[in-house]
Amino acid sequence: MSSNINLIDSFQEFKDFKNIDRPTVITVLEEVFRSMIRKRFGTDENVDVIVNPDNGDLEIWRTRVVMEDGFSEDDDLEIELAEARQYDPDLEVGDEYIEQITLESFGRRAILAARQTLVSKILELEKDEVFKKYKDREGELVIGEVYQIWKKEILVLDEDGNELILPKTEQIPADYFKKGDSIRAVVSKVDMMNNNPKIIISRTAPEFLQRLFELEVPEIFDGLITIKKIVREPGERAKVAVESYDDRIDPVGACVGMKGSRIHGIVRELRNENIDVINFTLNNSLYITRALSPARISSIKIDEENKTAAVYLKPDQVSLAIGRGGHNIKLAGKLTGYEIDVYRENDEVDEDVDIEEFADEIDGWIIDELKRVGLDTAKSVLALSEEELVRRTDLEEDTVHEIVRILQAEFE
């Protein structure tokens, strides 16, 4: 039997180390064996543990000073002459007696205990390394494979087999995955829970859309175009403000690509989420106008102190400004930082009546709902059919019918 101990052969668990470099493993192995030595001999200060990082070989050498017979006070550090000469007849008092300690000499129980300690320490190191690795990658794009699907979350494995969690709340509403599917997301949050790293990934975070743009638009990746801000209603609509540092580059055109070639891939990844790319500007009036795209604004009044903006549009542009479900105006407000109110322009202002004038006949919450979708005058409401009013608002058919009756009476 070889006097050397090959740890890689002895401890099969460590043939394929994940996330841990070999020097770190060697350090752990050395510490485990030094602990065994201290338990057996009381000290390890006179023991050399030599580990070969290339093949995992381990040698343990113990040095003791040769003392006259009857004068040894510590058998862990000293050896009497008579005993020493049993191993080497040429030894004299004062010499150093060096012996090699074999793994077998520790006994089966000690070896099994060391094996268990190694397993435990390696697992702890792996968890720490995974935590550090992903903590440094928060906000970065990751690609994994769907491993298991539950009601409230999906378990995803990365290329190293590390577990990533995609909660239902971080999925785009139209997302549908099955086991084995490849999935892209950003690292959203990394925590340690019960000594286990918990890595949350997201497909709804603005950073996810930003990373997709960086992949598809070389000018963004190279820093020629910068993304100033992204706001999203996942699966519905997103607005992206971009700015170019090179006057020769049109940032919006570069992001969209020829015939939409660049943005189409992003839209598909986001389950057909509508993406508005706009030019960033410090001119707040112009910025709000662009943010309300695709609606065309007639005029705008800004209150800088209260961060509000009153926007006036042609009747046919109001619904565009508000957008389906109010997403367009809501995102425009988030993007610009202003609370935006939409008002309908009307050439027959003198003949129209502000919806607020009907407060004695129509409940206040109903008036607020009508104004929310841009219907702030009697004629703006009457210009739409009852079916359209029900579709745009959260009002019941009977309520809408009564509103129309009240407003029509005003003009009879």
Please check whether residue 410 is in contact with residue 377, taking contact to mean a CB–CB distance below 8 angstroms: no
* Bridge partners, residue 156, by sequence: 146, 164
Give the integer Cα–Cα distance in Å for 272 and 169.
18
For residue 134, the model assigns a pLDDT of 94
Q: Residue 20 has what pLDDT? A: 64
List, for residues 61-81, the tens digit of each pLDDT value: 999 999 988 887 888 888 888
Q: How many CA within 13 A on the CB side of residue 401?
A: 3
Q: For residue 200, what are its two tokens?
A: 């949350």
Q: What is the pLDDT of residue 117?
A: 81
- C-alpha span between 32 and 227 (Å, rounded): 51
Which of 87-91, 259-263, 353-357, 368-372 reaches the highest mean pLDDT?
Answer: 259-263
The confidence score (pLDDT) of residue 2 equals: 40
Strands (E), 107-176: 141-149, 153-157, 163-167
Asked whether residue 258 carries a pLDDT value surpassing 70, the answer given is yes
User: What is the predicted pLDDT for the residue at 10?
Assistant: 45
Quickly state the pLDDT bin for 359 (edges 50, 70, 90): confident
The pLDDT assigned to 401 comes to 92
User: What's the whole-model pTM score?
Assistant: 0.67
For the chain, what is the largest distance between any 2 Cα atoms, rounded to a whole number of angstroms?
128
**pLDDT at 391 exceeding the cut of 50:** yes
pLDDT in tens, 161-220: 999 999 999 999 999 999 999 999 999 999 998 889 999 999 999 999 999 999 999 999
Please state at what angle helix 397-411 crosses helix 364-372, rounded to 10 degrees.
90
* pLDDT level of residue 346 (50, 70, 90 thresholds): low
Q: How many CA atoms lie within 13 A of 377 on its CB side?
A: 18
280 pLDDT higher than 60: yes
Percent of the chain with pLDDT over 70: 92
Nearest CA-CA partner of 300 in 288, 290, 314? 288
Q: What is the 3-state secondary structure (H, E, C) of 248-268?
A: CCCHHHHHHCHHHHHHHHHHH
Q: 251: closest CA among 281, 220, 294?
A: 220
pLDDT band at residue 269 using 50, 70 and 90 as cut-offs: very high
Which pLDDT belongs to residue 111? 78
DSSP letter string over 64-84? EEEE-TT--S-TTTEEEHHHH
Residue 18's pLDDT is what? 54
**Average pLDDT score, the chain:** 87
Tens-digit pLDDT profile for residues 51-60? 776 666 778 8
Cis peptide before 294 (omega within 30 of 0): yes
CA pair distance 249, 202, nearest whole angstrom? 31
Residue range 238-255: average pLDDT?
94
